[in-house]
């Protein structure tokens, strides 16, 4: 079924409006990045680069857009509620807990242009941090001071996929990203407040999908760093030994940059009812703001303070399976292993430690035109104890503390297609 160009243009504009209409202010996972984008991928441990069974798959691999049937338009939605239980044990802060409920939504569309070219766009929460404590500190023991962080990054990619042959597809895309952050922490005797600031930037994505046989597929994708300018717009305050806060003027986080990533994976239809999926990821935190950054004040006193968060390059290994239980029901299970992402010299309660072991499950009902499903992810408890000293300037409390984190995730989604 072919459509004339004016009708196609109106459909693209309408679909874009639907996706952009789902953007809302929401926390991202505290992980730093979500393990999966779509409901389908979350059910199988996050693996998607070689599968591409959702309009949201373009976020991990833009080439997956070419897997959509010709003349079929797709819309997919995935929502989740994260339950994040974080505990801080320190010299004067025994057992302070931070329990956060984290809602967020992702949505994506796939629009065929012709027999070989497909356009797509999506929106999702790409990264985030978030904790909240009230605790006493070694050099300010007579006051309970707030330890709080909130960072979120929203990603809006625009992608094109081209079907080079019946088996090989290539995808490329550009993305716009918006970041927002604020935090409050104590560094030795000083209580520091970083008011909410904003930054805007972008990057690009490329991907390949190759169907080697009717039952075996491979995927490879690269995500560039996201280049922002300074995260700015907030006001800074500081108080020594719990005294009256002194305004510092404008405060910025310099040259914000999010991590680049490479993903490779394979999907094998072992039987008509069983699919096995494997995936490997490399995330380059060493050259991102999450490894090290600086904070600058611009007011009556100009200061530049190093702020090493200490995240380093991370590997993730995923093994997932899907089982076709009947004509319409599919069950997904998975395991996601991530290498540690932060060292003991950079433990701080406004940061987050990466969970290493995740178990996932999900069930969905599919028809030719629509699907609906839900799932559950658990990131098993992870602890990280300070080494006795801290790379954070004046981080007297942090080298003697321990951060413990457990995450639960309830996932749901739906999607439909039309001609």
d(CA 414, CA 419): 18
Q: What is the pLDDT of residue 177?
A: 95
Q: What is the pLDDT of residue 389?
A: 86
Residue 42 has pLDDT above 50, yes or no: yes
Lowest average pLDDT, out of 184-193, 319-328, 346-355, goes to: 346-355
Instruction: Give me the domain span that covers residue 283.
Output: 5-418
The pair of structure tokens assigned to 28 is 């991202």
The arithmetic mean of pLDDT across residues 17-30, rounded, is 32
Q: How confident is the model at residue 16 (pLDDT cuts 50, 70, 90)?
A: very low
Q: Is 114 exposed, middle or buried (0-12, 13-18, 19+ CB in 10 A)?
A: exposed
Lowest average pLDDT, out of 55-59, 91-95, 212-216, goes to: 91-95
Q: For the domain that residue 242 is a member of, what is the CATH number?
A: 2.40.160.60
Q: What is the pLDDT of residue 217?
A: 98
Residue that is written with structure tokens 């994040």 in the block:
84
Tens of pLDDT, residues 141-161: 888 888 888 888 899 999 999
Domains held by the chain: number: 1
The pair of structure tokens assigned to 158 is 């625009």
- Global pTM value: 0.89
The arithmetic mean of pLDDT across residues 327-333, rounded, is 97
Lowest average pLDDT, out of 42-56, 113-127, 164-178, 343-357, goes to: 343-357
Nearest Cα to Cα of residue 390 among 376, 400, 380, 377: 400
**Looking at per-residue confidence, does 360 or 353 come out higher?**
360
């Amino acid at each position: 079924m072919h459509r004339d160009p004016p009708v196609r243009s109106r459909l693209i504009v309408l679909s874009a409006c639907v996706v952009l209409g789902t953007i809302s202010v929401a926390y991202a996972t505290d992980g730093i990045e979500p393990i999966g984008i779509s409901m389908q991928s979350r059910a199988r441990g996050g693996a998607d680069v070689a599968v591409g069974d959702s309009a949201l798959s373009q976020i991990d691999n833009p080439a997956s857009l070419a897997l959509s049937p010709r003349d079929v338009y797709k819309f997919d939605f995935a929502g989740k509620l994260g339950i994040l239980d974080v505990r801080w044990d320190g010299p004067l802060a025994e057992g302070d807990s931070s329990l956060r409920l984290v809602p967020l939504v992702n949505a994506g569309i796939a629009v065929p242009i012709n027999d070989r070219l497909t356009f797509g766009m999506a929106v999702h929460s790409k990264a985030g941090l978030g904790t909240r404590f009230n605790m006493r500190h070694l050099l300010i023991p007579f006051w309970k001071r707030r330890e709080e962080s909130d960072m979120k990054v929203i990603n809006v990619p625009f992608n094109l996929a081209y079907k080079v042959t019946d088996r090989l597809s290539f995808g490329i895309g550009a993305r716009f990203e918006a970041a927002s952050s604020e935090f409050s922490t104590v560094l030795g005797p000083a209580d520091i407040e970083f008011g909410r600031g904003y930054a805007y930037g972008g990057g690009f994505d490329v991907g390949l999908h190759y169907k080697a046989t009717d039952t075996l597929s491979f995927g490879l994708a690269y995500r560039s760093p996201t280049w922002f300018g300074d995260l700015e717009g907030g006001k800074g305050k500081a108080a020594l030994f719990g005294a009256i806060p002194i305004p510092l003027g404008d405060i910025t986080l310099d040259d914000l940059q999010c991590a680049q990533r490479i993903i490779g994976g394979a999907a094998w239809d072992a039987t008509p009812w069983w699919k096995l999926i494997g995936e490997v990821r490399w995330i380059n935190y060493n050259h991102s703001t999450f490894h090290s950054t600086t904070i600058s004040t611009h007011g009556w006193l100009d200061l530049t303070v190093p702020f090493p968060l200490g995240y380093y390059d991370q590997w993730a290994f995923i093994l997932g399976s899907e089982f076709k239980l009947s004509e319409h029901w599919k069950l997904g299970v998975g395991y996601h292993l991530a290498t540690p992402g932060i060292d003991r010299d950079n433990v701080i309660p406004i940061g987050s430690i990466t969970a290493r072991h995740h178990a996932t499950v999900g069930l969905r009902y599919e028809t030719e035109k629509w699907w609906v499903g839900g799932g559950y992810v658990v990131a098993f408890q992870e602890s990280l104890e300070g080494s006795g000293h801290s790379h954070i300037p004046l981080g007297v409390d942090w080298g003697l503390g321990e951060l413990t984190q457990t995450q639960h995730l309830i996932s749901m989604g739906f999607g439909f297609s039309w001609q």
